[in-house]
Amino acid sequence: MGNIMRIESISQIHEMIGYEKPKHPLITFIEPSKIKAKPIIDQQFSIGLYSISLKNGHECKLKYGRQYYDFQEGTLMFLAPGQTIEPVSVSEKAESELDGWILIFHPDLIRKSPLGKKMNEYSFFSYDSHEALHLSDQERQTVTGIVKTIENEYSQNIDVHSQDLIISNLELFLNYCNRFYGRQFFTRTNVNRDVATRFEEYLQSYFDSDKPETRGLPSVKFCAQDMGYSPNYLSDLLKKETGKGTQEHIHYYLIEKAKTLLLGTEEPVSQIAYSLGFEYPQHFSKLFKNKTGMSPAEYRN
């Protein structure tokens, strides 16, 4: 495997896959069945574009982050600019019967629009590949219909309304994806409840051990990695199930442990802060007062 290949433009994508000349410089709709070039296997790609892929039919395998992912029928996968993927395999049969579509757009398309300012609200762009959105037939028809509308809009003669219409339909598409992820969290409620329970047990175990002193405070990213999720996916999942995100859960167990130590020991506040993983005692005191309305010393007394 060589160096990471960087892809920064729509035209570069089209040239690489042997696709027709792009009809718009900042957005494109690609049908895998019309791709002429064979996929470059075992080559890492860093893509400076937003990409949304719907897979129908046979599966292909990608390495995304540190995990391998079988991209199977009826799933949507989202990539934000700067993420890296690596095609690993695709069977000959699958290659000849590729289905689905790929919507790709450049950040410049939305940079000056209200949508550009709220892209961080669509946290699924930073989910791991195994946290893809699994669509029902009706949901697949809904999102595909919107994508087709976007394609029709940029394929026509561009006028003063084109940009606004493309972006408004793109935002509609992303809002539907938010809804469908909410449905996915809900329909998998038993699994999600197990995750919430496991996370509570994980935090209890962490703060009851010497890990805070040796490893420091657990960050959202640190906890998510230990749990096998991306940070945003774990936080969104916990919010749907418990109403609290990952950081709120961490702070809750941190404060509960601190209360136990303040009332059950005579250790100085500074020592308690260090034992909980704080590098500076004043940071502990500030957080404790913020969460309880009292300083550690006031709570102890």
pTM: 0.70
d(CA 42, CA 301): 63
**Residue with token string 């938010």:** 178
Note the pLDDT tens digit of each residue in 183-192: 888 776 665 6
Tell me the torsion sign for CA atoms 3, 224, 221, 233: positive
Task: Answer for the pair 212, 276: CB distance below 8 angstroms, yes or no.
Answer: yes
Note the pLDDT tens digit of each residue in 77-96: 898 998 877 765 555 544 44
The CATH number of the structural domain formed by 190-300 is: 1.10.10.60
**Closest CA relative to residue 87, chosen from 173, 136, 16:** 16
d(CA 248, CA 290): 13
CATH topology of domain 5-131: Jelly Rolls (2.60.120)
Q: For the chain, report the end-to-end CA distance as a whole number of angstroms.
A: 63
**Structure token digits, residue 43:** 């080559």
Domain residue spans of the chain: 5-131, 190-300
d(CA 87, CA 95): 13
d(CA 121, CA 125): 9
pLDDT in tens, the chain (301 residues): 458 888 899 999 999 888 989 999 999 999 988 888 776 666 777 889 999 999 765 445 544 444 444 445 578 989 899 887 776 555 554 444 457 899 999 999 999 999 999 998 899 998 887 788 888 889 999 999 999 999 999 998 888 899 999 999 999 999 999 999 988 887 766 656 678 888 988 998 998 898 998 999 999 999 999 888 899 999 998 888 888 899 999 999 999 999 999 998 999 999 999 999 999 999 999 999 999 999 999 999 8
Task: Answer for the pair 91, 66: CB distance below 8 angstroms, yes or no.
Answer: no
Residue type, 65: G
**Beta strands 5-7; 27-30: pairing state:** unpaired
φ, ψ for residue 104 (rounded to 5)?
Answer: -125, 135
Task: Answer for the pair 71, 77: CB distance below 8 angstroms, yes or no.
Answer: yes
**Residue with token string 């950040």:** 107
